C-alpha cells in the first residue's frame, strides 16, 4: 500500500504487508489511519524506490541487475510498460509514478493499523 504525501516537503509512506496477513479488505484503509510498525528504510529526496524490487515479485538476479543493458533492467522496463496498458478489469492501468516512487519516502513494515 502506498500513501503519497499531500505537501511538497512531506514524506510519502509505503506499507509493506503481505495480503494474507491483512485481516480486512484493503479498501478499508482509506482515509486517516494510525500505523505502528518498524521503519525498514528512509529514502531521501532525490532518490527513488522501484516497487518491483521492493516487493520482490521478480527473481533476485532480475532485481539486482547492475548494468544499464542487463537483461534484468530490460525485463523490468518491459514490465513497467505492460503495467501502463494493463486493463481496468485487472486494476490497471498502473502509471510509472505508482511503480517508481520518488523520495522523500518511508518504507514501513506494519505491526498494527488503526482507523480513526
Report the distance separating Cα 110 and Cα 18, nearest Å.
10
pLDDT of residue 29: 66
17-27 b/e with 16+ CB inside 10 Å = b? beeeeeeeeee
Q: What mean pLDDT comes out for the span 98-107?
A: 89
Q: Grid coordinates standing for 50?
A: 522501484
Average pLDDT across the chain, whole number: 82
Confidence band (pLDDT; 50, 70, 90) for 1? low
pLDDT tens digits for range 27-80:
666 677 788 889 999 999 999 988 888 888 888 877 777 776 688 888 888 999
Which span out of 15-19, 52-56, 111-115 was modeled with the highest average pLDDT? 52-56
Amino acid at each position: 500500500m502506498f500513501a503519497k504525501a499531500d505537501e511538497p516537503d512531506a514524506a510519502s509512506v509505503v506499507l509493506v504487508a503481505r495480503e494474507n496477513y491483512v485481516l480486512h479488505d484493503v479498501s478499508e484503509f482509506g482515509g486517516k489511519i494510525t500505523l505502528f510498525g518498524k521503519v525498514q528504510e528512509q529514502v531521501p529526496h532525490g532518490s527513488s524506490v522501484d516497487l518491483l524490487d521492493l516487493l520482490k515479485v521478480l527473481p533476485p538476479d532480475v532485481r539486482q541487475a547492475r548494468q544499464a543493458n542487463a537483461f534484468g533492467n530490460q525485463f523490468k522496463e518491459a514490465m513497467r510498460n505492460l503495467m501502463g496498458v494493463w486493463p481496468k478489469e485487472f486494476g490497471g492501468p498502473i502509471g510509472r509514478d505508482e511503480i517508481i516512487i520518488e523520495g522523500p519516502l518511508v518504507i514501513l513494515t506494519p505491526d498494527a493499523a488503526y482507523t480513526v
